[in-house]
């Protein structure tokens, strides 16, 4: 799978393509392709295998593979051509993202940046493609562990907003529209920990990284990690790491 491990990629082009229904043969290419369908419904046929992909879905086409594409409706896609710096043989893969609108927005932004060619656009395109891969890896991780879409969405929210002091077990339960008791049981079943410990670990690990940078005071680190009370933060930090944040800062600086 494309998401089995971190890939070292090099984006070659980002194209917006469209065509009417019909069939077309594609010759083997020297690069990989990852596309998302903004509109349409198609079937890919390669080496006797068939892969159906519809609106909002993505398909990975590995390099060196010829195929036939049968468009069953008007097609409108954005495709990224890229290299991967390894020699692994890969297979076709159809991906149904949990949030196709978010993925489509990332592809649209990639294409806009590629077309505009403003100074530094290569970094912009790479960062957007990396966000696409991050999303796919996250979804694969959750699917492999049987994490339901609603919990997966909540985890995405937690990892994006853990530094907000307003994020709490109560607010998370309300966001998921469940009771706090149910949320605690759910986290215990899936992660063998409670939601508050999960959230606290994220915050304290982030705090430790900030302290290691040497750029922030303990008070600033507390605030940037989701704690309004520096004393309470220091207590939690020492309990977790066995050393106070002040001493961590001095030892690492």
Statement: residue 154 has pLDDT above 80: yes
Statement: residue 168 has pLDDT above 90: yes
Q: Is the domain covering 149-252 a CATH 1.10.150.120 domain? A: no
Place of tokens 């990975």: 60
Q: Which two tokens stand for residue 177?
A: 């529209």
Residue 159 to residue 161: CA distance in whole angstroms? 6
Tell me the sheet residues that pair with 50.
45
Task: Give pLDDT, residue 89.
Answer: 86
Q: Which two tokens stand for residue 171?
A: 């607010």
Residue 230 to residue 53: CA distance in whole angstroms? 51
DSSP 242: S
Tell me the sheet residues that pair with 46.
49
- Mean pLDDT rounded to a whole number for the chain: 90
Q: Which two tokens stand for residue 52?
A: 């159906």
Place of tokens 């080496």: 47
Show me where the domains of the chain are located: 9-143, 149-252
CB within 8 Å of 62: residues ≥ 6 apart: 32, 89, 90, 91, 92
Q: Which two tokens stand for residue 81?
A: 């051509």
Residue 154 to residue 167: CA distance in whole angstroms? 11
Q: Which two tokens stand for residue 9?
A: 């990629």
User: Is 0.85 topped by the overall pTM?
Assistant: no
Statement: residue 142 has pLDDT above 80: no
* pLDDT confidence band for 117 (50 / 70 / 90): very high
Residue 220 to residue 107: CA distance in whole angstroms? 36
Query: Which of 31-35, 69-73, 97-101, 248-252 reaches the highest mean pLDDT?
Result: 31-35
Query: Which of 145-159, 181-195, 223-237 reaches the highest mean pLDDT?
Result: 223-237
Query: What single string gives the DSSP state of each residue in 68-81?
Result: EEEESS-EEEEEEE
Q: Is the domain covering 9-143 a CATH 2.60.120.280 domain? A: yes
Statement: residue 66 has pLDDT above 90: yes
- Beta carbons of 60 and 93 less than 8 angstroms apart: yes
* pLDDT confidence band for 56 (50 / 70 / 90): very high
Instruction: Tell me what the mean pLDDT of segment 106-112 comes to.
Output: 96
CB within 8 Å of 130: residues ≥ 6 apart: none
Statement: residue 211 has pLDDT above 80: yes
Task: Give pLDDT, residue 110.
Answer: 96
Instruction: Tell me what the mean pLDDT of segment 207-227 comes to.
Output: 91
- Beta carbons of 63 and 31 less than 8 angstroms apart: yes
Statement: residue 219 has pLDDT above 70: yes
* pLDDT confidence band for 250 (50 / 70 / 90): low
Characterize the bridge pairing of strands 41-46 and 67-71. Answer: antiparallel
Instruction: Tell me what the mean pLDDT of segment 111-115 comes to.
Output: 96
Task: Give pLDDT, residue 253.
Answer: 45
Instruction: Tell me what the mean pLDDT of segment 22-44 comes to.
Output: 94
Task: Give pLDDT, residue 249.
Answer: 61
């Amino acid at each position: 799978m494309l998401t089995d491990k971190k890939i070292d990629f090099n984006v070659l082009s980002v194209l917006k393509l469209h065509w009417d229904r019909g069939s077309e043969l594609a010759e083997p290419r020297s690069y990989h392709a990852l596309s998302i369908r903004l509109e349409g419904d198609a079937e890919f046929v390669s080496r006797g295998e068939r892969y159906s992909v519809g609106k909002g879905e993505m398909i990975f086409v590995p390099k060196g593979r010829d195929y036939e594409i049968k468009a069953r409706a008007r097609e409108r896609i954005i495709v990224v051509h890229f290299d991967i710096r390894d020699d692994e043989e890969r297979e076709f893969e159809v991906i149904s993202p949990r949030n196709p609108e978010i993925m489509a927005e990332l592809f649209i932004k990639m294409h806009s940046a590629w077309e505009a060619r403003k100074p530094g656009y290569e970094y912009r395109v790479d960062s957007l493609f990396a966000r696409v891969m991050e999303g796919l890896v996250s979804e694969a991780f959750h699917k492999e562990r049987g994490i339901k879409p609603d919990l997966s969405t909540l985890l995405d929210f937690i990892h994006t907003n853990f530094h907000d002091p307003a994020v709490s077990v109560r607010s998370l339960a309300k966001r998921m529209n469940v009771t706090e008791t149910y949320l605690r049981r759910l986290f215990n079943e899936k992660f063998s920990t409670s939601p508050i410990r999960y959230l606290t670990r994220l915050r304290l690990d982030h705090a430790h990284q900030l302290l290691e940078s040497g750029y922030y005071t303990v008070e600033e680190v507390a605030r940037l990690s989701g704690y309004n009370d520096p004393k309470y933060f220091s207590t939690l930090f020492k309990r977790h790491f066995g050393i106070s944040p002040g001493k961590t800062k001095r030892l690492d600086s």
